[in-house]
Structure 1
Amino acid sequence: MAQIDGLPPLSDVIRTHELSAKKSLGQNFLLDLNLTAKIARQAGDLSGCDVLEVGPGPGGLTRGLLAEGARRVLAIEKDARCLPALDEIAQAYPGQLLVINGDALDVDPLAHLTPPIRVAANLPYNVGTELLVRWLTPKAWPPFWQSLTLMFQREVANRIVATPGSKAYGRLAVLAQWRSDPRIVMELPPEAFVPAPKVHSAVVHLDALPTPRFDADPAKLSRVVATAFNQRRKMLRSALKGMAPDIEDRLLAAGLKPTERAEQVPLEGFCALARQF
C-alpha cells in the first residue's frame, strides 16, 4: 500500500522532514497507508468531487484521497514544517493538490473549491469540535459540503451519534442529527497513531440532509439546546427559566414535560420548543 503513488512510506517522510508531532497543535499522525486509504473510501465516491482536508500533517490521508480519485484536494495545514512533505505529494499529483499554510478557522474554503465538495480529515484534536459545529451551523442550508468524514476521539464520536436518554446525548448530537445523518464507520486504537494518544479514535461520516428533519429557526434552536444542556441535571423548567417567564407554558405547548431533563428530550422536542420562541 505504501507504493500506491510512487512516494516513500510515511515513516520515511516523517524521518526525512523531521516531523515529530506537536501536542500543542493536537497532532497525532497516521502512518499506515492501508488505514488512510480505508478512511478515504469511507468518504464515498470521490471522482468528480473536490475535497477539503484540515490538518493533513505529513499527508497520509491526502495521499489516500488522491489515490481514491478525488478531483482536487484543498489541504489546510497550520504547521509549516509539513509543507515540504505535502509539496512532494503535489508534485506527484500535478494540479490536484492545493496546500494552504494557515488556520482552518480563518480560511474560506469556497474560494478554492468547486462543488460538489466533500470534507475528509483526521482533525486536530484541539479544533475538531469547533470546526464540526461551524460546518453544521451555516447561515444557509444545504451547506457547501455533501458529506463530512471526520476523525475524532471516540468519546466525541459517541456524542455525535448519541440518542436521548444516554449520558453522551447533548448539544452535539442535536445539531448533528437535525441537519445530517451521522454514523460511526470506523474505530481505531491508540497504537494506530504516532505518537499514540491515550484514547481510542473513531471516524464519523455525516451526510448532509437536503432540509432539516424538523422545522426550527437555527439560532433559536441552538440557544434552547445550549441553555438546556448547560444545566443538564436540572429539570427543564429550572434550566430554561431565564429564557422566558412563562417557560412552563411554552414547554407544555411544545409537548414537553417541565419536569423532564434535557437528556430526555428528543430532537423533535427541541425543535418544537424552539418554535415556541
Structure 2
Amino acid sequence: MATLPPIRDVIARHGLSASKALGQNFLLDEQLLDRIAAIPGPLRGKPVLEIGPGPGGLTRALLRAGAQVTAIEMDRRCLPALAELDEAFPGQLRVIEGNALDIDPATLFDEPYAIVANLPYNVGTALFTGWLSGEDWPPQWASLTLMFQHEVAQRITSNPGTSAYGRLAVLAQWRSSAKLAMKVHRSAFTPPPKVMSAIVHVTPAAMPEGVSARVLERVTEAAFGQRRKMLRQSLKALPGAVDALDTLRIDPSRRAETLSIGEFVAIARELTRG
C-alpha cells in the first residue's frame, strides 16, 4: 500500500484553500475517512464514483479500500494533488475534469457502481434528487453514500409526522432504503462549516407497480409546496388528485406531513391510471 503524506501537507504544498463558491470543506482525519469509505461495504475491485474529491482525502481512503475510483472534479487547482494519487495507486484512479451536474454517470460505467462523496454543499441536493429520479428502476448505481448538512440528512431519512418530513423523504424512501449512517462534527472539516454534517446511505429497493415516478413527484411537489394547507387545497390544482383522495378514503382535511409514503404512492398510482 502506498505511503502518502498527511492531507494537510498536500493542501499546503499545493497552496489549496477551500472555495466557498464551490461549496468546499476539506476532511483531513484519515481514520474518519476510512470509516466513511467502509460504509458501502467491501469495495475491493469495485467501481466507485466520487464527486468533488478536492485534494483527495476521501479518494485516498477509497483507493486504500481497493476501489476503482472515477472522480469528477471541476476545481483545476486540485488536479495536481489528484495526479499524485494516480501515481501512488496505479490503475485505480480516473479523474474527469468537469461539472458533475453536466455529466451522466451512466456514460462512465458499464456495470453497477457505488457513489461515495463528500458532496459540495451548493449542489448536493440537486445531484441527489437527480440520481433518485426517472422512470428507469433499479438504477445503475448500487448504493449512495453521501455527506450532507445534518439538516438535509434528517430531511432525507425522516418519518411521517415529523417537521423534517417532506419531498426529499418520499423521493428517497418510496423505492429505496435510506438511513443516517454517521454524524460528522463540524470540527472535522477545514474550514469548519457553520453546521453539523451527516452521512446518508441509500440502497435501491423494489419499485411499487403501476406508479409513474414523475406523477409521484408532481403529487409531492403540490402537497408539500403548500404543506400548511389541507390536502383538499394543496392538491386541487393537480387534476384528479382530490378525487383520488376520495377513492382511497384519505381524509382531505389532513396535511401532507401526516401522509405515509405508501399513501403518496397510492395517490400517484390512481393518477397514473387516469
TM-score (norm 2): 0.96
**Could you tell me whether the CA contact under 8 Å between 1:31 and 1:193 is conserved in 2?**
yes
C-alpha contact (below 8 Å) 1:214/1:271 kept by paired residues? no
Per the TM alignment, residue 213 of structure 1 is displaced from its structure 2 partner at its CA by 4.6
Which residue pairs with 2:266 in the alignment? 272
Q: 2:246 aligns with which of 252, 255, 265?
A: 252
Match in the other structure for 1:189: 185
Q: How does 1:97-246 map to 2 (within 5 A)?
A: 97-209=93-205, 211-213=206-208, 215-244=210-239
The one-letter code of the counterpart of 2:202 is L
Q: Alignment length, in residue pairs?
A: 271
Q: In structure 1, what residue type is equivalent to 2:49?
A: L
The question of 1:82 aligning with 2:78 is answered: yes
Once the two structures are superposed, residues 104-129 of structure 1 have per-residue CA deviations (whole angstroms, 9 ceiling, x without a partner) of 01112233324230000000000100
- Whether the 8 Å contact between 1:255 and 1:269 is mirrored in structure 2 is no
- 1:49 positional shift: 1.4
Q: Please say if residues 25 and 124 of structure 1, whose CA atoms lie closer than 8 Å, have aligned partners that are also in contact.
A: yes
Query: Is the CA contact 2:135–2:212 (under 8 Å) kept in the aligned structure 1?
Result: no
CA contact (8 A) 1:76 1:100 kept: yes
Deviation at 1:254, TM superposition (A): 2.4
Kept in 2, the 8 Å contact 1:50–1:114? The answer is no
- Most deviating of 87-96 and 111-120: 111-120
- Tell me the secondary structure at the aligned position of residue 100 of structure 2: coil
Identify the range of structure 1 (249-258 vs 141-150) with the bigger mean alpha-carbon deviation.
249-258
Given residue 224 of structure 1, which amino acid in structure 2 is its aligned partner? V
Once the two structures are superposed, the pairs formed by residues 8-23 of structure 1 within 5 Å of their partners are 8-23=5-20
Question: Counterpart amino acid of 2:7?
Answer: L
| Cα offset, 1:231, TM superposition | 0.2
Misfit runs of 4+, over 3 Å: none
Deviations 1:16-60 (A, max 9, x none): 011100000000000111111110001211123100000100001
Distance 1:255 1:90 in 2: 59
Inter-partner Cα distance in structure 2 for 1:136 and 1:176? 7
Q: Structure 2: where are the runs of 5+ without partners?
A: none
Question: Kindly tell me: are residues 82 and 36 of structure 1, through their superposed partners in 2, closer, same or farther at Cα, counting changes over 3 Å?
Answer: same
CA–CA separation in structure 2 for the residues paired with 1:265 and 1:149: 27
Residue in 2 that maps onto 1:62: 59
State the AA in 2 paired with 1:21.
A
**Aligned-residue offset at 1:255:** 3.1
CA RMSD of aligned residues (A): 1.2
Tell me if the contact between 1:162 and 1:168 (Cα under 8 Å) persists in the aligned partners: yes
Partner of 2:87: 91
Which string of whole-angstrom CA distances, capped at 9 and with x for unpartnered residues, describes residues 122-151 of structure 1?
000001001110110133111010100000
The residue type paired with residue 6 of structure 1 is T
CA displacement at 1:96 relative to structure 2: 1.0
User: Does structure 2 retain, via aligned residues, the 8 Å contact 1:233–1:261?
Assistant: yes
AA aligned opposite 2:132: L
C-alpha separation in 2, matches of 1:247 and 1:222: 13
Letter in 2 for 1:275: R
Partner of 1:146, secondary structure, is: strand
Q: What SS does the aligned partner of 1:22 have?
A: coil
Q: Distance in 2 between matches of 1:263 and 1:38?
A: 34
Q: Indicate how the Cα distance of structure 1 residues 268 and 57 shifts in structure 2: closer, same or farther if over 3 A, else same.
A: same
Q: 2:40 is aligned with what amino acid?
A: A
